[in-house]
Amino acid sequence: MVLNKLRLVSLAVWRSPVNLKARKFSCTSYVRHKAAYEGDGKTTVRVINMEQDLGLMIDSYGTFGFRLNNGLTVLGPMAIFPRTVLSWQVHNADEITAESLTFFRILVPKIDLVILGLDSKERQTLNSVFRASREAKLNVEILPTEHACSTFNFLNAEGRSVGAAMIPPKHIELNEDDMLVSKLHYGKLYERSDLL
Amino acid sequence: MPRLCAMQSTLLKRRLHSSIRLCEESDQGDVQIGNPFCLEPIEYESRTFRKHDNVRRQRLYEFGLYVAACMPKFVQKIQMQHTDELEILCAPEGFHPVLSFLRLHQHACFETCSAATAVDVPSREFRFEVIYCILSLRFGERVRVKSYTDELTPVESAYDLWTGVNWFEREIYDMFGIIFRNHPDLRRILTDYGFQGHPLRKDFPITGYIEVRYDDELKKLVYEPVEYAQEMRQYQLESPWNYMKNFHEGYNNPKPIKK
């Protein structure tokens, strides 16, 4: 790393300003040794869903329920925690009352933030859910299910004590990538050895 | 070369619309009182002050009057700022129609929204002013469109006119609490998850209510009420120059009662 830096510095010295002024500056005359950032010049991607020790994460969602990164499929609304998942007894967002949310309050270690993933985006529903959470005295973040899933994922990866209560969405917009992935999943269902 | 210039001036005529010549060029010099549609040209003798392009300023004002004449029901006021900027003030019911007029009409063509903000004036009945700054690339002019609302009334979202306004409206919702109808995805954008309150309102304190700290024992972030490192200070005003104490009561003492 240090050697590379030295090499870069020496190259910069050779290309002194005097030389540059002598001929017109053009990008093509430079050989690019590194990208603009530090490192090997390669971009890395870290998929947090693949890392098992960061806790439970939601891989995908559908109108039926959710698929988690440990291979579980949960049908219907669920309550998910860093390492636990439970099914939740509400049918849709209108049925969320302070009673259904009291569970999050009595847990130890204390949950800092509860993410509520709702299926509808109407103001009425959001207001009633917010009031219910206020009665239950929870610190809550109310989002549509799609955004709630990804928010739960990266908050869990950070190591915060978050809980999430998700209701599967009523409609999803499918794209071809999604359809392909779900076809592959069902096609290989009977070949998967970890489910035996 | 002069031929090219002449051709250019006919092809690239991008002056903003003024349907009626409300104010002739000759008027501006002669008529002292008269024509209310004639802005007084701003000229400074000093060379250090900013020069105002008075022709452009007059044209922009006439365009504002044109917009007001096209939509008399919605447009409440037209203002020209001292920096030669046009402001169109609208009623809340007409906010979306005025914006769509400005976006879509051939004489307006404001196809870029460069910013959207809100202003909080708590003393008013409708405490928030929502402001959209839009730019016309065809005519090279900018206009500010303003409307008002209070804490509970939703504002029609301008997402169907300019998609870039998506995050601007999310930011206004997050910072002020103004709800936008028909917004595709209205949620918080700058504040922390589970943050309560709307920071840019005037009744929200600068330091906020909650502070975050990393607790080493619990090995995680802890949210606690904010702790002031200093107590509130009372300032004593003193003048560094001596003044006659006989004739002045001092800045901290009450004024003497006149007999």
Residue A108 carries which side chain, given as an amino acid letter? V
Pick B220's closest partner by Cβ from A140, A141, A159.
A159
Q: What is the DSSP letter of B82?
A: T
CA–CA separation, A36 and A19 (whole Å): 23
B211-250 pLDDT, tens digit each: 888 888 877 788 888 888 888 788 877 777 766 666 777 6
Check: CB of residue B188 under 8 Å from CB of residue B170: yes
- The verdict on A124 touching B (C-beta cutoff 8 Å) is no
- Which of B39, B89, B40, B92 minimizes the C-alpha distance to B67? B89
Q: What is the mean pLDDT of chain B?
A: 84
How do strand A113-118 and strand A140-144 relate by DSSP bridges?
parallel
pLDDT score for A42 = 72
Check: CB of residue A84 under 8 Å from CB of residue A156: no
Which residues have C-beta within 8 Å of that of residue A173, sequence separation ≥ 6? Answer: none
How do strand B180-181 and strand B155-156 relate by DSSP bridges?
parallel
CA distance A68 to chain B (A): 22
Nearest 10 degrees: Cα torsion A155, B193, B180, A149: 20
Prediction pTM value: 0.76
Pick B193's closest partner by Cβ from A113, A159, A161.
A113
Chain A residue nearest residue B180, CA to CA:
A123
Which residues of chain B neighbour A160 with C-beta distances below 8 Å?
Answer: 220-221
CA–CA separation, B91 and B104 (whole Å): 19
B93 burial type by CB count under 10 A (0-12 exposed, 13-18 middle, 19+ buried): exposed
CA–CA separation, B122 and B153 (whole Å): 15
Check: CB of residue A133 under 8 Å from CB of residue A114: yes
CA–CA separation, B198 and B216 (whole Å): 30
Q: What is the ipTM of this complex?
A: 0.71
Interface of B with A in 192-221 (CB under 8 A): 193-194, 196, 220-221
What are the structure tokens assigned to B10, written together?
């006919």
CA–CA separation, A143 and A135 (whole Å): 19
Interface test with A, best of B187, B189, B210 (most A CBs within 10 A): B187
Q: Which residue has the higher pLDDT, B41 or B78?
A: B78
pLDDT band at B49 (very low <50, low <70, confident <90, very high): confident
- The verdict on B72 touching A (C-beta cutoff 8 Å) is no
pLDDT band at A16 (very low <50, low <70, confident <90, very high): very low
- Which of B108, B109, B150 minimizes the C-alpha distance to B130? B150
Per the rule left: phi > 0, alpha: psi between -120 and 50, beta: everything else, A134 is: alpha
- Which of B73, B56, B58, B68 minimizes the C-alpha distance to B102? B68
CB atoms A143 and B221 under 8 Å: no
**Of the ranges A13-27, A178-192, B88-102, which is most confident?**
B88-102
Chain B residue nearest residue A155, CA to CA:
B193
CA–CA separation, B181 and B154 (whole Å): 6
pLDDT band at A187 (very low <50, low <70, confident <90, very high): confident
Pick A160's closest partner by Cβ from B187, B188, B221.
B221
CA–CA separation, B169 and B182 (whole Å): 11
CA distance A187 to chain B (A): 35
Q: What sign has the CA pseudo-torsion B42, B47, B49, B51?
A: positive
Q: What is the DSSP letter of B246?
A: T
A61-99 pLDDT, tens digit each: 999 999 998 888 999 999 999 889 999 888 888 888 888
- The verdict on A137 touching B (C-beta cutoff 8 Å) is no
pLDDT score for B242 = 67
Torsion angles phi and psi, residue B249, rounded to 5: -80, -10
